[in-house]
Amino acid sequence: MDRTAPYGKIHFLNTGMSDCILLESDGHFALIDAAEDTDFPENKPHLRYAGYEEQVVAYLLRHCRGADGRVTLDFVLGTHAHSDHLGGFDTVALHPEIRILQAYLRPYDESRVFRMERTRWDNREVYDQMRDALAQAGVPICETFDGKTQTLGAFTLTFFYCGTHKRLPLRYGENVNSVVTLLEAGGTRALLAADMNYKAGDERRIGKAVGHVDLLKVGHHGTVGSTSAGLLRALTPRIAVVTNKRAGIFPDVRLKLKRACKEIYTTVESDGVLAELYANGKIRMQTGIMEKP
């Protein structure tokens, strides 16, 4: 294959302060998270948020159709049971023109989550909604994949569980149970940090295990509790992508990113960001990807 072409692309969609990341390599596609949705439990009207499921589906149909006219996703990954990450998956899974071959979704354990989230948020509902849609679509679900390696075209991906590697003295929110993804191709490396934060010690552990990356998808939208100076020293990323608007990045996180990274992109102001991965750390960035061609 002509490797003057990129090894693949990472599409960071503009879905406000929520995550939806499309991976593309050698004609293969995968989706990590599917953004916030418009659904909310009837007994929790305070969770009525702007949803992006229609934009996510439209983007997939526009960019990922195969020769048969349908979209095939080799796999989907739901990083943790928050609606701004899992919300759109039921719409994606049940769409008649989209086929999913495999799903990665670790079980939701509400005994590990503090009371406010158990009672006020819709973690359980959005998790069950995704599982039910996958089951209805006949998609096999892998629930145990910590340390697993998955290929996608020329990409090699490794999954890391947060929140399970030591006994936690306190219950935290579901963010500490995020799944982090390391992507490698041709000597170029990217870390997609989901909503990892430093409350449970995972930034230190995963940063040490991963080492240098060229691109970091910043954890938890750049908000409070994410992206310690120690993590940035371990990863030494040149490029940071934040799934948020610029004003939503917590001030100390913004300062740390400015000190550590040469390029910082926010998906809202950029209207989506595309990273094309070439050999030996070369990455070409493009903005404005949500616009129709």
For 227-242, how does the pLDDT look when each residue is reduced to its tens digit (9 = 90+)?
999 999 999 999 999 9
Structure tokens at 156: 């090699």
State percent of the chain over pLDDT 90. 90
Residue 171 confidence (pLDDT) above 90: no
Contacts within 8 Å (CB) and 24+ apart, 157-162 = 157/23, 157/181, 157/182, 157/183, 157/184, 158/182, 158/184, 159/77, 159/104, 160/202, 160/206, 160/209, 160/210, 161/106, 162/194, 162/196, 162/200, 162/202, 162/206
pLDDT band at 199 (very low <50, low <70, confident <90, very high): confident
Q: pLDDT tens digits, residue range 64-115?
A: 999 999 999 999 999 999 999 999 999 999 999 999 999 999 999 998 899 9
Q: What is the pLDDT of residue 238?
A: 98
Q: Is residue 292 part of a domain?
A: no
Q: What DSSP designation does 237 have?
A: -
Per-residue pLDDT at 1 = 46
At residue 168, the pLDDT reads 66
- For β-strands 179-185 and 149-152, DSSP reports them as unpaired
Residue with tokens 């940063």, as numbered in its chain: 207
Mean pLDDT, the chain, integer: 95
Dihedral (CA of 237, 241, 247, 249) sign:
negative
CATH code, 157: 3.60.15.10
Residue 3 in any domain: the answer is: no
For residue 184, being part of any structural domain is answered with yes
What is residue 200's predicted lDDT score, i.e. its pLDDT?
84
Residue 275 lies in a domain: yes
pLDDT of 137 higher than 60: yes
Does 2 have pLDDT greater than 70?
no
What is the pLDDT at residue 291? 82
Cα 240 from Cα 254, distance rounded (Å): 11
Q: Do residues 215 and 275 make contact, with C-beta atoms less than 8 angstroms apart?
A: yes
Distance CA 256, CA 240 (A): 11
The secondary element (H helix, E strand) that includes residue 254 is helix 251-260
Q: Report if pTM > 0.95.
A: yes
- The CA–CA distances, whole Å, from 259 to 28, 236, 239, 252 equal 35, 11, 12, 11
Position 34 scores a pLDDT of 98
On whether residue 233 sits in a domain, the answer given is yes
Mean pLDDT of the 23-37 span: 98
CB 32 within 8 A of CB 19: yes
Q: Is 270 helix (H, G, I), strand (E, B) or coil?
A: helix
Q: Is the pLDDT of residue 263 over 50?
A: yes
Q: Tell me how many domains the chain contains.
A: 1
C-alpha distances (whole Å) from 111 to each of 19, 115, 263 are 25, 9, 39
Q: Examine residue 1 and state whether it is found in any structural domain, yes or no.
A: no
- Which token pair is 253? 């996180």
- Residue 293 domain-assigned? no
What was the pLDDT predicted at 293?
A: 58
pLDDT of residue 108: 96
- Is 271 inside any structural domain? yes
Least confident of 30-34, 100-104, 110-114, 169-173: 169-173
Q: What is the pLDDT of residue 7?
A: 97
Domain that holds residue 78: 8-287
**Confidence at residue 111, expressed as pLDDT on a 0 to 100 scale:** 87
**Which three-class secondary structure state does DSSP give residue 148?**
coil
